[in-house]
Amino acid sequence: MIATVLVANRGEIACRVFRTCRELGIRTVAVYSDADGNALHTRVADAAVRLPGAAPADTYLRGDLIVKAALSAGADAVHPGYGFLSENAGFARAVTDAGLVWIGPPPQAIEAMASKTRAKRLMGIEPLTGADDITEADLPVLVKAAAGGGGRGMRVVRRTADLDAALTAARAEAASAFGDGEVFIEPYFEGDAGGRHVEVQILADTHGTVWTLGTRDCSLQRRHQKVVEEAPAPGLTPGLVAELEGTAVRAARAVGYVGAGTVEFLVAGGRAHFLEMNTRLQVEHPVTEAVYGVDLVAEQIRVAEGHALEKDPPRARGHAVEARLYAEDPARDWAPQTGRLHRLDVPDVRLDTGYTDGDDIGVHYDPMLAKAVAHAPTRAEAVRRLAGALERATVHGPVTNRDLLVRSLRHPEFTSGRMDTGFYARHLPELTAPAPDPYAPLAAALADARSGPRSRFGGWRNVPSQPQTRRYAMAGQEHEVHYHHTRRGLTADGVRVVHAEARRVVLEADGVRRTYEVTRYDDRVYVNNTELTALSRFPDTTARQEPGSLLAPMPGTVVRLADGLTEGARVEAGQPLLWLEAMKMEHKVSSPTSGTLTTLNVSDGQQVEPGALLAVVREDAP
């Protein structure tokens, strides 16, 4: 029997595993980097061991330090979570060689499926690896890293002329991210022929039993990373489901698989194309847990202890949908956001998170804040429930994708089950169009009027006077609002002020009464779900930037500059100049105009802060 588990991970998944361990009466050990010294997973574990440094390469990717931490803390088992070392066969061997229980598949199974090209060959599929394998008729195609995942080392190619450059760039990114520059090419389905990302959850024991726990659809993706997942995958024929599950079992038996794993497919034109096998727990595992009534982490632990699964898996019931809440701005090329998370509350659904109110979101790791999961008897009910919970959610802090998630879940393509992996490529502008509440600035101003010291006369004047004025920035626009102090209290033109206090304002317009909850953090004001910035009465005349300045959109590291880029070079509008890496994603910084690069202020490997000057491009004269 396992007594103490060290989780070789951080954040949400570490907290998730700890929750099950507590329910089973198992003690828990966390590991933490210097950046995670006060992180939630560090605080909730029974014991925690520091991994000196902040970068993943120095901390969560140091298998030797993690094994040493497990031994020093008295753990007898290691759970890898997902990401980091979860699919590293060498780490799995190091754990077992140290006399610890590995809560995962055998190292040889991880090794067999670690390379996507090797996995394809194992399944009888010969991968395409070079430009010579592709003709115009094959386009578009996806260049993909053979190792790793998470959207790293991927490039969509629509012209054969771009293929060599895409292969070179993907190899460089894959080598940097995974230490393996091997890439391959597979068909890319979009438009009317758009493909769906469908996967099968498997669970196997050491006694020869392999369960399939249904399908999941993970088609809503950005940057090849999943955003919304659900189980079961809607709209599949019974025959196709049987084919998917049969292939998944065949893959598991081919490598002697043990534990929880996922086999992924691209479904297009009624056909299933094998993609890969993930030899770990998936981020989206909660939707399967909800539908099948199982705790997959508990099952992983029981399998690792040698227990046998029942002959048949439990029966599915209902439908579950999960949405990943990210600290990112979808309208700005999904740029990750950092800062203080003042408040996080998503009501009435399961919420898996690694953050609590007051935690800081840093630059070193993935920007996912939480996963919200809704379960109901039908798909329509589950989707409606999750959309409603997210709409009512309180998320105060950096910009998030919350509004995008709500609109995605209510989009006709999604509600009808007709989505595919090109969903955001088609609909992102409409899904990110600003739609702030027009009365939010007035509510903020009225609450502000009630938040300071009040005289016994309530602020009204006996003689008619100019209105009180407040200025706010909302959705990129400046709003100036006016209100009056009168004998009857606060008033505003065109709106009836029913009630106004420092944290709650009730307004009535066109016969409809609405309540606004107002919260302040310095100059940041939240009115229900609308974020505003309180502006000074007098504009700041000191902030000036040279025309053509390119500023860092986020904190990050300059991972590479465009080939041959030097000051004085001629550049074209849209030409990539450099790439920033932040929160496990690469972000391209391109020239905003055609002209001359007059200033290049950064170099490879340099750390930059938000707003830092990267380069200056002097525009061509008309």
Q: Residue 171 maps to which CATH number?
A: 3.30.1490.20
In a domain, 119, yes or no: yes
Give the model's pLDDT for residue 583.
64
Is the same domain home to 140 and 83? Answer: no
- For residues 201 and 215, give the distance between their C-alpha atoms in angstroms, rounded to a whole number: 7
In a domain, 136, yes or no: yes
The SS3 of residue 286 is helix
Is the same domain home to 279 and 331? Answer: yes
CATH number at residue 556: 2.40.50.100
Is the same domain home to 525 and 602? Answer: no
Give the model's pLDDT for residue 551.
87
Which positions ≥6 away from 498 have C-beta within 8 Å?
506, 507, 508, 513
Is the same domain home to 497 and 390? Answer: no
10 Å Cβ neighbour count for 408? 26
- For residues 602 and 596, give the distance between their C-alpha atoms in angstroms, rounded to a whole number: 17
CATH number at residue 463: 3.30.700.40
Is the same domain home to 363 and 411? Answer: yes
In a domain, 405, yes or no: yes
Domain holding 496, by residue range, is 440-535
In a domain, 541, yes or no: no
Last residue of a domain, which of 37, 69, 103? Answer: 103
Is the same domain home to 457 and 346? Answer: no
Residues paired with residue 561 on neighbouring β-strands, in sequence order = 578
Give the model's pLDDT for residue 543.
47
Q: In this structure, are residues 325 and 369 in contact, taking their beta carbons and an 8 Å threshold?
A: yes
Give the model's pLDDT for residue 191.
56
In a domain, 329, yes or no: yes
Is the same domain home to 420 and 352? Answer: yes
Q: In this structure, are residues 569 and 563 in contact, taking their beta carbons and an 8 Å threshold?
A: no
Is the same domain home to 154 and 203? Answer: no
Which positions ≥6 away from 333 have C-beta within 8 Å?
587
CATH number at residue 270: 3.30.470.20
Q: In this structure, are residues 459 and 449 in contact, taking their beta carbons and an 8 Å threshold?
A: yes
Is the same domain home to 141 and 279? Answer: no
Q: In this structure, are residues 312 and 116 in contact, taking their beta carbons and an 8 Å threshold?
A: no
Please identify which residue in the block is written with the tokens 């020093």. 72
Number of domains composing the chain: 5
In a domain, 544, yes or no: no
Last residue of a domain, which of 535, 557, 581? Answer: 535
What does pTM read for this prediction?
0.85
Catalytic one of 280, 350, 450, 471: 280
Profile the chain (622 residues) by mean pLDDT over runs of 10 residues. 98 98 98 97 98 95 98 98 95 98 97 90 86 86 82 86 90 81 85 80 98 98 94 97 97 96 93 93 98 98 98 97 97 92 97 97 92 98 98 96 98 96 94 94 95 54 72 92 90 94 96 96 94 77 66 82 89 89 75 90 84 88 72
Give the model's pLDDT for residue 461.
54
Please identify which residue in the block is written with the tokens 């009317």. 192
CATH number at residue 24: 3.40.50.20
Is the same domain home to 269 and 416? Answer: yes
In a domain, 270, yes or no: yes
In a domain, 540, yes or no: no
Token pair for 551? 């500023």
Q: In this structure, are residues 198 and 265 in contact, taking their beta carbons and an 8 Å threshold?
A: yes
- For residues 176 and 153, give the distance between their C-alpha atoms in angstroms, rounded to a whole number: 9
At how many degrees (to 10) do helices 89-97 and 63-72 cross?
30
Burial 533-545 (b: 16+ CB within 10 A, else e): ebbeeeeeeeeee
Give the model's pLDDT for residue 455.
43
Give which of 113, 112, 89 is closest to 102, Cα–Cα.
89
Is the same domain home to 310 and 175? Answer: no
- The CA–CA distances, whole Å, from 266 to 110, 158, 304 equal 21, 19, 31
Is the same domain home to 143 and 99? Answer: no
Last residue of a domain, which of 60, 80, 103? Answer: 103
The SS3 of residue 63 is helix
- For residues 2 and 247, give the distance between their C-alpha atoms in angstroms, rounded to a whole number: 33
Give the model's pLDDT for residue 356.
97
407 tagged catalytic? no
Give the model's pLDDT for residue 464.
56
Burial 268-304 (b: 16+ CB within 10 A, else e): beeebbbbbbbbbbbbbbbbbbbbbebbbbbbbbbbb
